[in-house]
Amino acid sequence: MNEQMTQLVQQLGDWLVGLGVPETQKTAAAFGLLFLLATFLVLILILVLFRLRGGRKPAATGEEEPEERREPERPAKEVPAETAGEEAPAEAVAEVPEPRAVAAEEPLVTDTGVEPVAEEAEPAGEEAEPTADQAAEAPPEEPASLFQRMRRGLAKTQAGLVGRIDTLLGGRGKVDAELIEELEEILITADLGMQTTQALIAAIEQRMARDAAADPQMVRQVLQQEMSRRLAEVDTPFDLDRPGPMVVMVVGVNGVGKTTTIGKLAHLWTAQGKKVLLGAGDTFRAAAADQLEVWAGRAGVDIVRHAEGADPAAVAFDAAKAAVARGADILLLDTAGRLHTKVNLMEELKKVRRVLAREIPEAPHETLLVLDATTGQNALVQARLFKEAVEVTGLVLTKLDGTARGGIVVAIANDLQLPVRFVGIGEGIEDLRPFEPEMFVRALFEK
Ligand SMILES: Nc1nc2c(ncn2[C@@H]2O[C@H](COP(=O)(O)OP(=O)(O)O)[C@@H](O)[C@H]2O)c(=O)[nH]1
Ligand SMILES: [Mg+2]
């Protein structure tokens, strides 16, 4: 062993002499080189170990998981080196619009403001996306501030919209026509829609006309202000404190998240001291009422349901009667997204409205249209249809957590001139947020 070592040092020394090291110092130089190599190897080893540990952390918002959560939630969940880091990438900050990853309900993170480690931002792999089942099994979250939860829910839109804008602005010294053109493209691909994009660009151009020396950061400021302003313009107070049962009818096409939203609202309003009753107006499948019943159980509220195939207007009638009789503060009525019979869905919804109004004056007080944000412009088309047929008073945008197309929130509110009431940022019972325009935009733009 020793002999081999001496030989190695000798050979190294000879090689170094060849490179110009003085003959007298060749042994010292050879040792020096060996020492350097060893240090280098140790460093690489440390980096590899670090990577393995770090890979198991979700990189969703680039924020670190708090220490106390790590242990109980990931017990001995050892992953082989090559799969480490795959839990997060679906959410990892990337510039390309990512595949639709609904239900990324990994137990995520709270705020420490740490930026994502570059090597964690790997491209999304199919197997990286948790299924709805896995999502449902995820342990309940610990409380985080509302703002941080909103930020986390919007991580994909943040990356796809503001992240791309920042990259664009970062590389430019001045605001010129080319920059504006690229910005326009980003806004449209983030589903802000043609109309809203044009309005935002016009605001930037106006500002440029006033201040020719404006730097690229001005663009960011104007965008943030304009989005906030446009959302706030259509925002009206949501009054829960009216006398008598307040009837909230929830409409929207199949699968957008109506039933889930009703469950979350029942929980939210019960926690605010309201007596809530649910009406299972989606009689298309027995499973729909079963699903609502599960949510009623979770939220600890009563439910009125009929058999599968029953007339939704009859459910509405019974539910309204029960709400009055039981002294409920709020009746939340679920509706179908499609029907058994050939009756037009919109006609059916109008009939339900008439029945409600006969039982409770001015009911339904609110008609919330639920839209799936991941469907982008399609949501806008649906919204127009429903708005024409039934008097929609407010919007709920669901699944914002699963999409980079959250810009649709601004587009819909702006195009339809309707207030966004709530946004869904996950499948859990707590994952519905009352919409606050200023907070929403700040969650997108804050660095
Ligand atoms: N990730 C995510 N999934 C949601 C959200 N809201 C609803 N979902 C899921 O969307 C699917 C359809 O929801 P459901 O309430 O049955 O839709 P409905 O047909 O309109 O009643 C379910 O798997 C829900 O868990 C949300 O905000 N985020
Ligand atoms: Mg449903």
Coil, helix or strand at residue 115: coil
Is there an atom of ligand 1 within 6 Å of 255 CB? yes
- 256 labelled as ligand-binding? yes
Distances in Å between the Cα of 293 and the Cα atoms of 90, 262, 303, 323, 418 are 32, 11, 7, 16, 30
Ligand 2 centre and the CA of 255: distance in Å?
7
Pick from 332, 386, 398 the residue to mutate for probing ligand 1's pocket: most ligand atoms within 8 Å of its CB. 398
Looking at residue 209, the DSSP 8-state letter turns out to be H
For residue 370, how far is its CA from the centre of ligand 2 (angstroms)?
A: 11
CA distance 203 to 116: 33
**Which atom of ligand 1 is nearest the CA belonging to 256?**
20
All residues at 6 or more sequence positions from 248 whose CB lies less than 8 Å from its CB, including other chains: 265, 330, 331, 332, 333, 364, 365, 366, 367, 368
Q: DSSP code of 277?
A: E
Containing 395, the helix (H) or strand (E) segment is: strand 394-398
Which neighbouring-strand residues pair with 366?
Answer: 248
3-state helix, strand, coil in the chain (%, to 5): 55, 10, 35
pTM more than 0.85: no
CA distance 307 to 286: 7
Nearest CA to ligand 1 atom 17: 257
One-letter amino acid for residue 296 of the chain: A
3-state secondary structure of 276: strand
Query: What per-residue confidence (pLDDT) applies to 293?
Result: 92
Non-local (6+) Cβ contacts of 301 within 8 A are 266, 270, 276, 277, 278
Beta bridge partners of 433: 423
Residue 102 in contact with ligand 1 by CB distance below 6 A:
yes
Q: Are 22 and 9 in contact (CB under 8 A)?
A: no
Residue nearest atom 22 in ligand 1 by C-alpha distance: 257
Atom of ligand 1 at shortest distance to CA of 370?
Answer: 20
Cα separation, 85 vs 58, whole angstroms: 8
pLDDT, one tens digit for every residue, the chain (447 residues): 567 778 877 887 787 788 788 888 888 877 887 888 888 888 888 887 777 665 444 333 333 333 333 333 333 333 333 333 333 333 333 333 333 333 333 332 333 333 333 333 333 333 333 343 444 444 444 446 778 888 888 888 888 899 999 998 888 778 888 889 999 999 998 888 888 999 999 999 888 888 877 788 888 989 999 999 999 988 888 888 888 899 999 999 989 999 999 999 999 999 999 999 999 999 888 889 999 999 999 999 999 999 888 889 999 999 999 999 999 999 999 998 876 555 688 888 899 999 999 999 888 999 999 999 998 888 888 888 888 888 899 999 999 888 888 888 899 988 888 999 999 998 999 889 889 888 889 988 887
pLDDT at 87: 35
CA 110 to chain centre: 15
- Do residues 370 and 250 touch, judged by C-beta distance below 8 A? yes
402 lines ligand 1 (CB under 6 A): yes
- Mutation choice for ligand 1 from 260, 262, 291, 432, CB with most ligand atoms inside 8 A: 260
